[in-house]
Amino acid sequence: MAAADIITKVGGDELERIFQGEVAGLLKRPNPRHFPGAQPVSFARQHIEELKAQDYFVCEKTDGIRYLMYLTSDDVSPEPGAPPERTPVVYLIDRKNKYYYVPRLRFPHQENPPKKYDNFHVDTILDGELVEDRYPDGRSTIKFLVFDLLVIDGKDLRERTLDKRLGYLKQFILQPYKNWLKDFPEQRHSQAFVLEDKKTEFSYSLPTMFHEIIPQVKQLHGNDGLIFTCKGTKYESGTDRHILKWKPPEENTVDFLLHITWAGEPEDEDYDEMPADLGLYIYHGRDQDYSRVGSLYVTPDEWEKLKAQDEPLQDSIVECFLEDTGAVNGHSSNGNQVNGHGEKRWRYHRTRDDKNEANHVTTFDSVKISIQDHVTQQDLLDHADDIRTAWKARDARRPSRPQ
């Protein structure tokens, strides 16, 4: 079962605005319209020294769908005429800041006495991604892999360091949730999906990441790199320079706005012909201000496949990678033959239905630097010992905790 089959888009702009206002209130944000999640910067060669200078955690970059999870409540009458009861409700928030209702999902407090589970977390915001693990025997399981905790029961944790936030997550969210499912295993089968924490390692544990963890997850739900997150910094909405996204150099991508220009009159959209230009535009953040940075290269066969996806193409958001043409021959979008001699060109990877805007120009610039720097897996492995030595040296200088 796909994730789209188990979550439901919140109906009506007015209701969605109410939820956006509630989340903005919990996060003390003046503008409720913007997605409040943190966004990484692309890994450049200079960041290798950053990993030596500060403590970072690392996890694999899952090929899933990014969501914030909002735990709230609603007043529901169990039967007509009965007084309303406070019922927990869970929503997912995508990068378009759209809300999706998740049925039958609950996160209980650890009660005293144990195994009572009468109270559930509300006014709580988690950060994570939805994935579908596929097993060799044909089974599949949808999971929400959580990697951060912003607010718990109305208490804002974003000013606390990552290690403290993860401590709250494991003690007050994950452990009671696991205990509840253990005591009431029938609940597991009625849940829309299961919650798991994302496996996190110290930044110097790169051999473990590359040789053990990534090969395992690639078989389940795919992987396209690593995420390094600084242990000692606060949660920063928007671009966070202390979250580093590393991808193999050949897999660095940019999300563009695709604007198609046709050979005839501007209003004549003739999808049966190759367009005159597949323009790629980057976002500047000022009143939807975009600038053109290049063209998407497609062959005639690829153009036919794009059309066959039966998705809107004009002004869509497309994820692209930069290809070194080498000695490849082909056809440009206007049908002219080109002979590649080491030049680079943007190529289509996928359509980003989960995004309203292209990458910001600053993100575009950082990805270009990542491509130019060409930091490989072996480069990271070569520095793992130095990262570990620097971490241990900082540990030795820290005051010991009182016994």
- What residues are paired with 245 via a beta bridge? 42, 227
Report the alpha-carbon distance of residue 399 to residue 403 in Å, rounded. Answer: 12
Maximum Cα–Cα distance across the chain: 79
Report the alpha-carbon distance of residue 69 to residue 100 in Å, rounded. Answer: 9
Report the alpha-carbon distance of residue 129 to residue 65 in Å, rounded. Answer: 5
DSSP state string for 278-295 = EEEEEE-SSSS-EEEEEE
Q: Give the start-end residues of each E strand in 154-297.
A: 155-156, 194-197, 201-202, 223-230, 238-246, 253-261, 277-283, 290-297
Report the alpha-carbon distance of residue 306 to residue 309 in Å, rounded. Answer: 6
Q: What is the CA radius of gyration of the chain?
A: 24
Q: Which residues are catalytic?
A: 61
Instruction: Decide if 314 contacts 271 (C-beta within 8 A).
Output: no
Report the alpha-carbon distance of residue 126 to residue 330 in Å, rounded. Answer: 46
SS3 104: coil
Residue 53: phi and psi, rounded to 5, are -85, -25
Give, rounded to a whole angstrom, the gap between the first and last alpha carbons of the chain. 51
Q: How many helices (H) and strands (E) does the chain have?
A: 10, 20
Report the alpha-carbon distance of residue 175 to residue 264 in Å, rounded. Answer: 62
Instruction: Decide if 151 contacts 168 (C-beta within 8 A).
Output: no
Report the alpha-carbon distance of residue 340 to residue 277 in Å, rounded. Answer: 18
